[in-house]
Amino acid sequence: MTTVAAQPGPFTFEPAHTALVMIDMQRDFIEPGGFGATLGNDVSLLLPVVAAAADLVAWARTQGIVIVHTKECHRPDLSDCPPAKRLRGLPSLRIGDMGAMGRILIDGEPGADFVPQLAPQTGDVVIKKPGKGAFYATPLSAVLEGKGITHLIFGGVTTEVCVQTTMREANDRGYECLLVEEATGSYFPEFKEQALAMVRAQGGIVGWTAALAALTGA
């Protein structure tokens, strides 16, 4: 068993029954010209997350922890993209339109791929998801159950959207969840801080948060 100094209290896990879920570290969210930028966001705000997320993945490999990479993307024919998602707001380009990194948020296009520092390795699990939560319309539950996973460690982007949604889905399914603070980020730094606070409030209503060094030094 490993115990980490976390908030609101210690987080204890067995690496053999733990998975790291790295959420949506894709070029479409992190690089200029992708989905995040079309929505008017300053994507450079997510750059500091990349190194910390890569360090988290590297640490998980040394522990033999299952590594899951999620990828928000849609089929080229958009059959898995609800019109409500595609048509909402006034982005400069919509999902499926041609952008600087290929069609926005479409599976197989360069923009939907992972940033090189977070590229999956052989043996990692890749989950393609059409929604914000990684359990919705994906095989994630079955994969985790098949591997006997009880605890999840989270990183990725963005904290208050896909990371928090997935953590809440996981919490409702009975997983013990830890979010690693430096390995997650938002286009809105204040939303990140509030999301971390929401997770660990009320005795850990959604789970725990911890600094990366607390985990890697545990």
Site membership for ligand C5J, residue 49 (CB under 6 A): no
**Which residue type sits at 131?**
G
Q: Is 129 in the active site?
A: yes
Closer Cβ to ligand C5J, 82 or 148, answer by number: 82
Minimum distance, C-beta of residue 15 to ligand C5J, in the bound complex (Å): 26
Question: Considering only residues 161, 177, 183, 196, which one is a binding residue for ligand C5J as defined by CB under 6 A?
Answer: 161
Residue 28, interface with ligand C5J (CB under 6 A)? no
Rounded least distance, CB 141 to ligand C5J, Å: 19
106 binds ligand C5J (CB under 6 A): no
| Residue 196 interacting with ligand C5J (CB under 6 A) | no
Burial of residue 172 (CB within 10 Å: 0-12, 13-18, 19+) is exposed
Q: Does 24 bind ligand C5J (CB under 6 A)?
A: yes
Which of 28, 55, 81, 162 is an active site residue? 162
Binding site for ligand C5J (CB under 6 A): 24, 29, 72, 132, 157-158, 161-162
